[in-house]
Structure 1
Amino acid sequence: MNFKKNLVLLIVLIKSGMLLAQNGTLKGKVTDKVTNEELVGAAIVIEGTTTGTITNFMGEYEMPPLERGTYTIRVQYISYESQIIEGIKISAGETTTLDFQLGTAEMDLEEVKVVAKANRESENLLLLEQKNAVMAVQSIGAQELSRKGVGDAEGAVTKMSGVSKQEGVKNVFVRGLGDRTIATTLNGFPVPSEDPRYKNIALDMFQSDIIQSVGVEKVFTSNKTGDVGGAIIDVSTKILQTDNELTINASGGANSQSVNDNFIKVDGVNRLGFANIYDGPSGGKLPTSYNFENKIDPSKAAYVGNQSYTVSAGKQFEINNNPLSVFVSGSFNQSLTQQDGSQRNMINDGTIYKDIDFEKFDINTNHMLMANTHYRWGDGNNVSYNLLAIHTNSQFFAELEGYDNEALQSGAERDSLLLHRQQINDNLLLVNQLYGNFKLNEKWEMKAGVAINTVKSFEPDRRINFLYLNDGQYQTYTRKGMNQRFFSDLNSSDINSRLTFKYKLNDHYNQLSNLSFGYTNRLTKDTFNGIQYEQRLQNTETIFFNSKENVSFDYIYNSDRFDAGQIHLERIHSFYDVQKYVHSVFANGMYQLNSNLYLMGGLGVDYVDILVDYAGEVAEDGSLNGRRTNRLEKLFFLPSANLKYDVNETNSLRFGVSRTYTMPQSRELSPFEYIGITFKERGNENLIPATNNNLDVKWDNYLSAGEIISVGAFYKLIQDPISRYSSNNAGGFLLYENVGDVAVASGVEFELRKNLFNKMNGDASINNKLSFGLNASYIYTNVKLHVSPSSQPTEANSQLEGAAPVIINSDLSYTYKKANRSVTGAVVFNYFSDRIYSIGYDGMPSLWEKGIPTLDFVLSGKLNKHLGISAKCNNVLNPEFQYYRDMPSGDRVEIENYKKGMTISLGLNYSF
Structure 2
Amino acid sequence: MKLKFLLFTLLLSSFCFAQKATVSGLILDKEYDNEPLAFANVMLKGTSQGTSTDENGKYSLSVSAGNYTLVVGFLGYKTVEIPFTVKANEKKVINYTLETEGVMLEDIVLTATVTQESVKALLQEQQKSVEIKQSIGAEEISNKGISDVAAAVTKTTGITKQEGSGSIYVRGLGDRYNSTTMNGLPLPSNNPSRKNINLEIFSTDIVEYIGIDKTYNYKNYGDFAGANIDIVSKNYKGDGSLEVGTGMGANSNAVQQNKFFLQDGPSFLGFSNEPIPNDPLSGYNFSTSWDKQASTPVNSSFYIRGGDSYSFGDYSKISFFLNASFDNGYTYKEGVRRGSVNVQGLAIKNLNRKAYEYQTNSNAMANINYRINENHNIRINSMLINSATQKHEEFNGIIDANGSAQNGGGFIRRSTFDKTYLLVNQLLGDHKFGERTKFDWGLSYNTLTNVIPDRMQNTIVPFLYDDPSSRLVASDVNPSDNQRYYQEMTDDEIAGNFNLSYKFGKSENGDYKGKLIAGYSARYKEINFDATQINLAVTRSNFASQPTVDLNNLDGYFNQANLDANFFSLKTFRGDITNANALTPQNFNGQQIISAGFGAIEYQFTPKLYVIGAFRSEFIIQDIDYDTSLKQGKNKFDTMEYLPSLSAKYELNEKQNLKLAASKTYTLPQFKERAPFLYEEVGQSYFGNPFLYNSTDYNFDLKWEYFPKGGEVISLTGFGKYIQNPINEVTVASATNDISWVNSGEKAVGIGAELEIRKDIFSFEGSNDKKTNISSGLNVSYLHTNQDLDSEKVKKETNGLGVAFTNSNSRLTGASDLLVNADVSLNKSFSADQSLTATLSGAYFSDRIYALGVTGKGDLVDSDVIALDFILKFRLNKNLGFGLSAKNLTDPTIERKQNIQNVVVDSYKKGRNFSFSMKYSF
1:798-837 maps to which residues of 2 (within 5 A)?
798-817=810-829, 818-837=831-850
Per-residue Cα deviation, 1:114-141 (whole angstroms, up to 9, x for no partner): 9981111111101111111101100000
Please state how far the C-alpha of 1:675 moved relative to its aligned partner. 1.3
Give the distance between the partners of 2:696 and 2:264, measured in 1 at CA: 46
Give the distance between the partners of 1:446 and 1:439, measured in 2 at CA: 6
Please state how far the C-alpha of 1:32 moved relative to its aligned partner. 8.8
1:105-504 maps to which residues of 2 (within 5 A)?
117-259=113-255, 260-278=257-275, 280-283=276-279, 287-303=281-297, 305-321=298-314, 322-345=316-339, 346-405=341-400, 409-410=403-404, 413-469=406-462, 470-480=468-478, 481-504=480-503
Please state how far the C-alpha of 1:413 moved relative to its aligned partner. 4.2
Closer, same or farther: CA 806–192 of 1 in aligned 2, 3 Å: same
Secondary structure of the equivalent of 1:258?
helix
Please state how far the C-alpha of 1:842 moved relative to its aligned partner. 1.9
Please state how far the C-alpha of 1:326 moved relative to its aligned partner. 1.2
Give the distance between the partners of 2:494 and 2:296, measured in 1 at CA: 44
Secondary structure of the equivalent of 2:733?
coil
Aligned-partner residue type, residue 836 of structure 1? I
1:792 alignment partner, one of 798, 804, 807:
804
Q: Is the 8 A contact 1:662 1:692 kept in 2?
A: yes
Alignment of 1:721 onto 2:723: no
Aligned-partner residue type, residue 666 of structure 2? Y
Partner of 2:904: 894
Partner of 2:580: none
Partner of 1:516: 517
Give the distance between the partners of 1:170 and 1:268, measured in 2 at CA: 25
Secondary structure of the equivalent of 1:696?
strand
Give the distance between the partners of 1:360 and 1:415, measured in 2 at CA: 19
1:641-656 maps to which residues of 2 (within 5 A)?
641-656=646-661
Secondary structure of the equivalent of 1:296?
coil
Secondary structure of the equivalent of 1:155?
helix
Partner of 2:4: none
Aligned-partner residue type, residue 604 of structure 2? Q
Secondary structure of the equivalent of 2:676?
coil
Alignment of 1:907 onto 2:917: yes
Closer, same or farther: CA 653–85 of 1 in aligned 2, 3 Å: farther
Give the distance between the partners of 2:225 and 2:111, measured in 1 at CA: 35
Please state how far the C-alpha of 1:745 moved relative to its aligned partner. 1.2
Aligned-partner residue type, residue 807 of structure 1? L
1:82-93 maps to which residues of 2 (within 5 A)?
none
Root-mean-square deviation (CA), in Å? 2.9
Aligned-partner residue type, residue 901 of structure 1? G
Give the distance between the partners of 1:717 and 1:343, measured in 2 at CA: 36
Partner of 2:777: 773
Q: Is the 8 A contact 2:482 2:536 kept in 1?
A: yes
Please state how far the C-alpha of 1:511 moved relative to its aligned partner. 2.9
Please state how far the C-alpha of 1:38 moved relative to its aligned partner. 5.5
Alignment of 1:602 onto 2:614: yes
Give the distance between the partners of 2:287 and 2:213, measured in 1 at CA: 47
Which is worse superposed, 747-756 or 497-506? 497-506
1:542 alignment partner, one of 546, 551, 573:
546
Per-residue Cα deviation, 1:806-864 (whole angstroms, up to 9, x for no partner): 00000000000121000000100000001100111221210100011000000002100
Alignment of 1:843 onto 2:856: yes
Give the distance between the partners of 1:745 and 1:59, measured in 2 at CA: 42
Aligned-partner residue type, residue 232 of structure 1? N
Please state how far the C-alpha of 1:371 moved relative to its aligned partner. 0.2
Give the distance between the partners of 1:696 and 1:102, measured in 2 at CA: 32
Please state how far the C-alpha of 1:730 moved relative to its aligned partner. 3.9
Closer, same or farther: CA 84–780 of 1 in aligned 2, 3 Å: farther
Partner of 2:888: 875
Please state how far the C-alpha of 1:84 moved relative to its aligned partner. 14
Give the distance between the partners of 2:112 and 2:156, measured in 1 at CA: 24
Give the distance between the partners of 1:473 and 1:143, measured in 2 at CA: 60
TM-score by length of 1: 0.86
Aligned-partner residue type, residue 880 of structure 1? T
Closer, same or farther: CA 895–451 of 1 in aligned 2, 3 Å: same
Secondary structure of the equivalent of 1:294?
coil
**Runs of 4+ with >6 A deviation:** 54-58, 76-81, 83-86
Secondary structure of the equivalent of 2:512?
coil
Please state how far the C-alpha of 1:31 moved relative to its aligned partner. 4.2
Alignment of 1:695 onto 2:694: no
Q: Is the 8 A contact 1:261 1:301 kept in 2?
A: no
Please state how far the C-alpha of 1:671 moved relative to its aligned partner. 1.0
Aligned-partner residue type, residue 233 of structure 1? I
Give the distance between the partners of 1:42 and 1:531, measured in 2 at CA: 58
Closer, same or farther: CA 678–773 of 1 in aligned 2, 3 Å: farther
Closer, same or farther: CA 78–386 of 1 in aligned 2, 3 Å: closer
Q: Is the 8 A contact 1:210 1:370 kept in 2?
A: yes
Partner of 2:7: none
Q: Is the 8 A contact 1:361 1:398 kept in 2?
A: yes
Give the distance between the partners of 1:604 and 1:115, measured in 2 at CA: 23
Per-residue Cα deviation, 1:227-275 (whole angstroms, up to 9, x for no partner): 1110000001112242201000101100000114400011111122222
Q: Is the 8 A contact 2:757 2:777 kept in 1?
A: yes
Give the distance between the partners of 2:35 and 2:198, measured in 1 at CA: 36
Please state how far the C-alpha of 1:543 moved relative to its aligned partner. 1.9
Secondary structure of the equivalent of 1:560?
helix
Q: Is the 8 A contact 2:320 2:369 kept in 1?
A: yes
Please state how far the C-alpha of 1:426 moved relative to its aligned partner. 0.9
Aligned-partner residue type, residue 387 of structure 1? S
TM-score by length of 2: 0.85
Give the distance between the partners of 2:342 and 2:760, measured in 1 at CA: 54
Please state how far the C-alpha of 1:651 moved relative to its aligned partner. 0.3
Give the distance between the partners of 1:195 and 1:32, measured in 2 at CA: 47
Q: Is the 8 A contact 1:507 1:592 kept in 2?
A: no
Give the distance between the partners of 1:241 and 1:317, measured in 2 at CA: 9
Partner of 1:636: 641
Give the distance between the partners of 2:821 and 2:350, measured in 1 at CA: 35
Aligned-partner residue type, residue 861 of structure 1? F
Aligned-partner residue type, residue 692 of structure 1? D
Give the distance between the partners of 1:115 and 1:896, measured in 2 at CA: 45
Please, which runs of 5 or more residues in structure 1 have no aligned partner? 1-27, 44-53, 62-75, 87-96, 104-113, 618-624
Partner of 1:675: 680
Please state how far the C-alpha of 1:498 moved relative to its aligned partner. 1.5
Partner of 1:529: 530
Q: Is the 8 A contact 1:751 1:774 kept in 2?
A: yes
Q: Is the 8 A contact 2:631 2:676 kept in 1?
A: no
Q: Identity across aligned pairs (percent)? A: 32
Give the distance between the partners of 1:165 and 1:98, measured in 2 at CA: 49
Give the distance between the partners of 1:178 and 1:126, measured in 2 at CA: 26
Please state how far the C-alpha of 1:99 moved relative to its aligned partner. 4.7
Aligned-partner residue type, residue 453 of structure 1? N
Which is worse superposed, 711-720 or 512-521? 512-521
Closer, same or farther: CA 41–605 of 1 in aligned 2, 3 Å: closer
Per-residue Cα deviation, 1:301-339 (whole angstroms, up to 9, x for no partner): 233x11110000212123555110011100001000001
Closer, same or farther: CA 131–678 of 1 in aligned 2, 3 Å: farther
Partner of 2:107: none
Q: Is the 8 A contact 1:505 1:514 kept in 2?
A: yes
Alignment of 1:759 onto 2:771: no
Give the distance between the partners of 2:299 and 2:273, measured in 1 at CA: 22
